[in-house]
Amino acid sequence: MFSFFKKKSADTPETPAPADSAPAPAPQTSDKPVAPAGTKGWLRNPFASKENVEPSENLPPSSGISSTPPVVQEPQEKPQAPTAPGDRKGWMDRLKVGLRKTGSSISTIFTGTKIDDALYEELEDALLMADTGVKATRHLLIDLKQRVKDSKTTDPAAVKALLADALADLLKPLEKPLVVGQHTPTVIMVAGVNGAGKTTSIGKLTKHLADHGESVLLAAADTFRAAAREQLGVWATRNTVEIVSQDGGDPAAVSFDAVSAGRARGKDVVLVDTAGRLPTQLHLMEELKKIKRVVTKADASAPHEVLLVIDGNTGQNALNQVKAFDDALQLTGLIVTKLDGTAKGGVLAAIAQEKPIPVYFIGVGEKVEDLETFSAKEFAQALLA
Ligand SMILES: Nc1nc2c(ncn2[C@@H]2O[C@H](COP(=O)(O)OP(=O)(O)OP(=O)(O)O)[C@@H](O)[C@H]2O)c(=O)[nH]1
């Protein structure tokens, strides 16, 4: 098992559709390949030949939905070996460097010689400054004082280690692997405010999935910004995966096409990239809801994951984004990016305290290897290193 995500075998029983899924008409795709019992979805001839590609071949004739033909390329490289344990060590080093801005002001509090009220007051200030939020800060201080009492420690340096334990326990509910393989395809819809890192994260995720032999299809459902489509197209070309995109038009239509094509071709994963928007732009939030509804029309059990990408730099505002996007879309997971450039990494504790939606991945840089699965213990240790 590699570190990036967990894969359930294709014969795992399917989970029921989300409760809010509207009873959608059965998709009209009839040629969905069925994996023989015991085979893994991604071992089946995953890429259609160029001649057979008809982007809208499985759409209901009346849907009026069209897209530019997906780019279909044969994979050039064999999937790489699973991530070596040493890679996780390298990640830990990058995580420590990335979280330095957030962690250093907290760590310096434990350089004194006494554990007293002044230390706890300074810690409270530092946690609040790191955008941990009032509730999570209060929780951490109460928990920490209890741990100090129980351990009878008198050394401030030991208190730092106890804080790391308290933080890891608080963050633990956010730790959950992204599962693919329970559905073919696993449809993952990705949303977020402008510039949060959606496309970059999708690109990195695509690379990891493709490297591990998963067949991926990308949906460029940001039909407004040509640069966004091009950016996604670069990731598609680089990883030789298919992409459904369209110049202008309805993002829901592109998403429908992509999910239908993903079903018809037995793809393992369909990743839907949506345009950035603020939760206050109500018409754009309605558009997101429509994309989700239409995806469900293409596959009654989809989307299987609805992810929000948040920029760690935005601190407490990111928590507000989580709440607003969750209200609109019923999020299943988060990707927190840009933790490398921020002193506000405490927001993860605020999310754990107030809106504990799983954090599938965190990003600490622009390079592919700078996005990894979230581990509560690693995060707490790296933050207070
Ligand atoms: N430092 C740092 N930069 C990142 C990280 N993730 C993404 N970025 C950068 O953030 C910028 C915006 O990323 P995009 O992926 O284009 O963001 P987006 O959400 O798709 O943007 P829109 O489509 O405009 O909404 C790019 O310059 C990325 O390289 C990260 O973890 N750390």
Q: Has 274 been labeled as part of a binding site?
A: yes
Question: Is the distance from the beta carbon of residue 194 to the nearest atom of ligand 1 less than 6 Å?
Answer: yes
3-state secondary structure (DSSP) of residue 243: strand
* 5 has a pLDDT exceeding 60: no
Tokens 């959950």 belong to which residue?
176
CATH label of the domain that carries residue 206: 3.40.50.300
What is the predicted pLDDT for the residue at 160? 94
Q: Which ligand 1 atom is the nearest neighbour of the CA of 363? A: 31
The one-letter amino acid at 41 = G
pLDDT band at 24 (very low <50, low <70, confident <90, very high): very low
What is the predicted pLDDT for the residue at 101? 85
The region of weakest confidence among 3-12, 56-65, 154-163 is 56-65
- Residue 94 inside a domain? The answer is no
What is the predicted pLDDT for the residue at 331? 98
- Residue 238 inside a domain? The answer is yes
User: Are the CB atoms for 297 and 340 separated by under 8 Å?
Assistant: no
Q: What is the mean pLDDT of residues 294-302?
A: 97
What distance separates the 2 farthest-apart alpha carbons in the chain?
75
What is the predicted pLDDT for the residue at 81? 35
Question: Is the distance from the beta carbon of residue 370 to the nearest atom of ligand 1 less than 6 Å?
Answer: yes
Question: Is the distance from the beta carbon of residue 230 to the nearest atom of ligand 1 less than 6 Å?
Answer: no
Each residue's pLDDT tens digit, 340-380: 888 899 999 999 999 999 999 999 888 888 888 999 999 99
pLDDT band at 294 (very low <50, low <70, confident <90, very high): very high
* 319 has a pLDDT exceeding 50: yes
Q: Has 123 been labeled as part of a binding site?
A: no
Those residues whose C-beta lies under 8 Å from the C-beta of residue 202, and which sit 6 or more positions away, are 190, 218, 232, 235, 271, 273
Give the residue, by CA position, lying nearest to ligand 1 atom 10.
197
- Residue 200 inside a domain? The answer is yes
pLDDT band at 113 (very low <50, low <70, confident <90, very high): confident
User: Are the CB atoms for 273 and 228 separated by under 8 Å?
Assistant: yes
Q: What is the mean pLDDT of residues 66-81?
A: 34
ipTM of the complex model: 0.98
What is the predicted pLDDT for the residue at 55? 30
Cα–Cα distance between 238 and 27 in angstroms, integer?
31
3-state secondary structure (DSSP) of residue 266: coil
Give the residue, by CA position, lying nearest to ligand 1 atom 1.
365
- Residue 272 inside a domain? The answer is yes
Those residues whose C-beta lies under 8 Å from the C-beta of residue 226, and which sit 6 or more positions away, are 247
Cα–Cα distance between 223 and 251 in angstroms, integer?
6
pLDDT band at 65 (very low <50, low <70, confident <90, very high): very low
Cα–Cα distance between 190 and 180 in angstroms, integer?
15
What is the predicted pLDDT for the residue at 86? 53
Q: How many CA atoms lie within 13 A of 118 on its CB side?
A: 7
Question: Is the distance from the beta carbon of residue 363 to the nearest atom of ligand 1 less than 6 Å?
Answer: yes
What is the predicted pLDDT for the residue at 6? 52
- Residue 227 inside a domain? The answer is yes
- Residue 380 inside a domain? The answer is yes
Q: Which ligand 1 atom is the nearest neighbour of the CA of 203? A: 15
The region of weakest confidence among 122-126, 130-134, 341-345 is 341-345
- Residue 92 inside a domain? The answer is no
3-state secondary structure (DSSP) of residue 98: helix
Question: Is the distance from the beta carbon of residue 342 to the nearest atom of ligand 1 less than 6 Å?
Answer: no
What is the predicted pLDDT for the residue at 275? 94
Q: How far is the CA of 243 from the centre of ligand 1 (A)?
A: 20
3-state secondary structure (DSSP) of residue 110: helix
* 143 has a pLDDT exceeding 70: yes
Q: What is the mean pLDDT of residues 97-126?
A: 90
Q: How far is the CA of 201 from the centre of ligand 1 (A)?
A: 8
What is the predicted pLDDT for the residue at 19? 35
The per-residue pLDDT of the chain, averaged, comes to: 80
Q: Higher-confidence residue: 228 or 291?
A: 291
Q: Which domain holds residue 183?
A: 174-384
| Four-CA torsion 213, 219, 222, 228, nearest 10 degrees | 40
- Residue 160 inside a domain? The answer is no
pLDDT band at 76 (very low <50, low <70, confident <90, very high): very low
The region of weakest confidence among 80-89, 172-181, 234-243, 262-271 is 80-89
Question: Is the distance from the beta carbon of residue 311 to the nearest atom of ligand 1 less than 6 Å?
Answer: no
| Domain count of the fold of the chain | 1
